[in-house]
């Protein structure tokens, strides 16, 4: 099922892009996971799958949509990085207290 593989790819890519700046350990983890997905799929295509995927009526629409989604990952990275690195609570330990009166 190719759509499950694409969902994994999108999830890992966005996870690495969104949180890679503040949690650098995630970048090697995502890289290893993506490499593992690539190698396992190459072996599966070579030794397990009997029919090519294109005989089942697949076309490039799903691939084009995934590429369009993945092209937006750097924009998400910029937004998340600005939010995470601009957080004064994280770097300066400044807590903005809110006083509630009833």
Longest dimension (CA), the chain: 70
DSSP 47: I
Tell me the C-alpha to C-alpha distance, in Å, between residue 71 and each of 40, 92, 96.
Answer: 24, 34, 36
Predicted model pTM: 0.73
Residue 27 has a pLDDT of: 93
89 pLDDT above the threshold of 80: no
Higher pLDDT, 86 or 78: 78
Boundaries of every domain in the chain = 2-92
pLDDT at 53: 56
pLDDT tens sequence across 28-76? 999 999 999 999 988 988 888 776 655 566 678 888 898 999 999 999 9
């Amino acid at each position: 099922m190719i759509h499950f593989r694409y969902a994994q790819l999108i999830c890992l890519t966005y996870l690495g892009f969104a949180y890679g700046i503040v949690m650098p350990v995630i970048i090697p983890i995502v890289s290893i996971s993506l490499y593992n997905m690539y190698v396992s799929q190459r072996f599966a295509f070579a030794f397990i799958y009997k029919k090519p995927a294109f005989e089942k009526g697949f076309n490039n629409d799903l691939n084009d949509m995934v590429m369009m989604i993945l092209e937006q990952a750097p924009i998400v990275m910029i937004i998340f990085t600005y939010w995470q690195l601009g957080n004064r609570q994280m770097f300066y330990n400044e807590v903005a207290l809110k006083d509630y009166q009833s």
